Amino acid sequence: MDLAGKHIVLGLSGGVACYKSAELCRGLVKQGATVQVVMTEAAEQFITPVTMQALSGRPVYGSQWDTREPNNMPHINLSREADAILIAPCSADFIARLVQGRSDELLSLLCLARPRDRVPLLIAPAMNREMWLHPATQRNMAQLAADGAVLLGVGNGPQACGETGDGRMLEPHELLEDLVAFFQPKPLAGQRVLVTAGPTYEAIDPVRGITNLSSGKMGFAIARAAREAGAAVTLVAGPVHLPTPRGVARVDVKSAQNMLQAVESRAHGASIFIATAAVADWRPAQAAEHKIKKDGSGKTPELQFVENTDILATVAQSARARGGELFCVGFAAESQDLLANAQAKRLRKGVPLLVGNIGPATFGKDDNALLLVDAERATELGPAPKLTLARQLVAEIGVRLATLAIGR
């Protein structure tokens, strides 16, 4: 549970997006957080305190005059207990209240009274597209950011009013992912990470091709973990059906040649390259224009193969990588002799860090076990969920980058 031990004050201001806050509250609890809900009077027009109490397991607060607090100061007590205050939905009116420092009801009062050095304020705006684009709202958002609030952005799509555009509140799973990311350590802050993930597909004819069993889950987990760690992340993905991690730029490719082109065009802007993809070593020399059909003779078609360019080795031998501007990490999916094969591959590819795993044991699964091999040692990680391993790997990369920086 990514939020175990965290206490979140979930504030609801007035807006139809309050219905999403119920699912968000449930998600926070499932991730191990304790949730204290605080609602404005306007929010209670859209969803009842009874619903939020049932989902959070705690009485809901709505008035600064609540006599349940022995000192009659809920704005002080609730803000001091929090690890973070998340306002979702945050209406245009409530944003203006925060900017002006108004405090005539409990939620804005506790936001103003929070210890700003240790209780962050996260804002999930929700409003009509015209309200969102209005210069007054944009000025207010800029001022909120300048005052130290964390702005989580808005979604684009159909709105309750019947219009379509920017301004709708992010979905509960997106807000949950953002909150989890907020609390993660930031060892890669300021880094630009390029990740490859998934298999490649090498066409034989228009309906058949050669691929492998890679699901892309490990690479997608690494992309998410790198973004959580503070990096700007680009993910070059082979043909997989996985949702893009929040905040990650995704480039879809099909073949090894497609992936090579996508990587080479982006590696110049990266500071870390993590080659997780299971790239085909070979491809048919020429894909047939039409489907190859059997003719009843029993003869098998003759296929000629050519070797694909080694993407990892190509990037690792670039001037930026050799000059220390680009830290390269390779992956080796083996079926046996993991340590020996990983050590040999690290030297052959010319990378400072090689991550090995037993491919048949992990393809398509949510768990994995990794072996990190560098010039000095081999370190085992797991077995554990792939996201857990991805965060551990990202932390290890951060340590190595810090060590390299000290040595320069």
Structure confidence by residue, pLDDT tens digits, 191-206: 999 999 999 999 999 9
Confidence of residue 53 (pLDDT cuts 50, 70, 90): very high
Contact criterion met (CB below 8 Å) for 200 and 279: yes
Model pLDDT for residues 99-136, shown as the tens digit of each residue: 999 999 999 999 999 999 999 999 999 999 999 999 99
Considering the domain architecture, whether residues 233 and 343 belong to the same structural domain is answered as: yes
Model pLDDT for residues 142-199, shown as the tens digit of each residue: 999 999 999 999 999 999 999 999 999 999 999 999 999 999 999 999 999 999 999 9
Considering the domain architecture, whether residues 105 and 28 belong to the same structural domain is answered as: yes
Residue 261, in any domain of the structure: yes
Cβ count near 401 (within 10 Å): 16
* Per-residue pLDDT, 67: 85
CA dist., res. 378 & res. 381, Å (int): 10
| SS3 of residue 307 by DSSP | strand
Is the predicted pLDDT of residue 407 greater than 60, yes or no? no
Helix or strand holding residue 271 (H, E): none
Mean pLDDT of 318-334: 93
Mean pLDDT of 333-338: 82
* Two tokens, residue 93: 């009116």
Domain region containing 265: 192-407
Compute the residue count for the chain: 408
Q: What is the mean pLDDT of the chain?
A: 94
* Per-residue pLDDT, 389: 96
Mean pLDDT of 69-85: 92
Residue 2, in any domain of the structure: no
CA dist., res. 391 & res. 341, Å (int): 24
Confidence of residue 335 (pLDDT cuts 50, 70, 90): confident
Residue type, 402: A
Is the predicted pLDDT of residue 54 greater than 70, yes or no? yes
Strands (E), 134-271: 150-151, 155-158, 164-168, 192-197, 202-203, 209-210, 232-237, 249-252
Considering the domain architecture, whether residues 85 and 106 belong to the same structural domain is answered as: yes
Q: Looking at 183, 205, 229, which one is the last position of a domain? A: 183
Model pLDDT for residues 21-41, shown as the tens digit of each residue: 999 999 999 999 999 999 999
CA dist., res. 289 & res. 205, Å (int): 6
What is the count of structural domains for the chain?
2
Residue 89, in any domain of the structure: yes
* Per-residue pLDDT, 184: 97
CA dist., res. 72 & res. 65, Å (int): 6
Is the predicted pLDDT of residue 352 greater than 60, yes or no? yes
Confidence of residue 70 (pLDDT cuts 50, 70, 90): confident
* Per-residue pLDDT, 403: 83
Is the predicted pLDDT of residue 277 greater than 70, yes or no? yes
Cα-based distances in Å from 126 to 3, 47, 134, 145, 159: 24, 15, 13, 16, 10
Considering the domain architecture, whether residues 108 and 161 belong to the same structural domain is answered as: yes
Mean pLDDT of 291-312: 90
Confidence of residue 364 (pLDDT cuts 50, 70, 90): confident
Cα-based distances in Å from 313 to 308, 318, 328: 12, 9, 9
Q: Is residue 18 annotated as part of the catalytic site, yes or no?
A: no
The maximal CA–CA distance of the chain, rounded, in angstroms, is 92
* Per-residue pLDDT, 294: 85
CA dist., res. 239 & res. 215, Å (int): 9
| Catalytic hit among 25, 90, 161, 328 | 161
Q: Is 306 exposed, middle or buried (0-12, 13-18, 19+ CB in 10 A)?
A: exposed
| Range 98-101 contact pairs with CB under 8 angstroms and sequence separation of 24 or more | 98/123, 98/140, 98/144, 98/147, 98/149, 99/140, 99/143, 99/144, 99/147
Cis amide prior to 360 (ω within 30 degrees): no
Considering the domain architecture, whether residues 220 and 152 belong to the same structural domain is answered as: no
Considering the domain architecture, whether residues 201 and 334 belong to the same structural domain is answered as: yes
Considering the domain architecture, whether residues 53 and 171 belong to the same structural domain is answered as: yes
Q: Looking at 158, 183, 208, which one is the last position of a domain? A: 183
| SS3 of residue 9 by DSSP | strand
Residue 1, in any domain of the structure: no
